[in-house]
Amino acid sequence: MAVGAVGDDQEFSVPGHGDILCSDYAPMTLLHAAFTLERLGILPLHEAINMVSLNPACAVGIENHTECLSAGKDADMTLVNGADGFPRVLKTFVGGREVFATC
């Protein structure tokens, strides 16, 4: 898997070259990175979102708790408005409870 930043070198994020995006000190950049991958036509949005959600969960073995929204799962979710090309977090739920809202 190659390492880089979205925009530095699109080749690193071509399907088959990696399946996880991560950030050690600026987690808010992950949402922007996923939307950028979609905007640049590199990945469909659902696959780009998996790179910052499901795929990392699978890598650390917690996908059985976080894989989807269903009974018995953690129910963590972020509601995002990306209609204008700039993702904005509207609400965040952790364990099924709202913990953040801008609307």
pLDDT (tens digit, 0 to 9) for every residue of the chain, 103 residues total? 344 444 544 555 555 668 888 888 888 899 999 999 999 998 999 999 999 988 988 889 988 888 777 888 887 889 999 888 789 999 999 988 999 999 8
Total-model pTM: 0.77
For residue 100, the model assigns a pLDDT of 96
Q: Tell me the longest C-alpha to C-alpha distance in the chain.
A: 40
For residue 92, the model assigns a pLDDT of 93
For residue 14, the model assigns a pLDDT of 55
For residue 85, the model assigns a pLDDT of 78
Domain map (residue ranges) of the chain: 10-101
For residue 96, the model assigns a pLDDT of 86
Which DSSP helix (H) or strand (E) runs through 45?
helix 45-50
For residue 2, the model assigns a pLDDT of 40
Between CA 97 and CA 85 the distance in angstroms is 27
The residue count for the chain: 103
Q: Apex CA 68: angle with CA 100 and CA 87, to 5°?
A: 45
Which DSSP helix (H) or strand (E) runs through 100?
strand 97-101
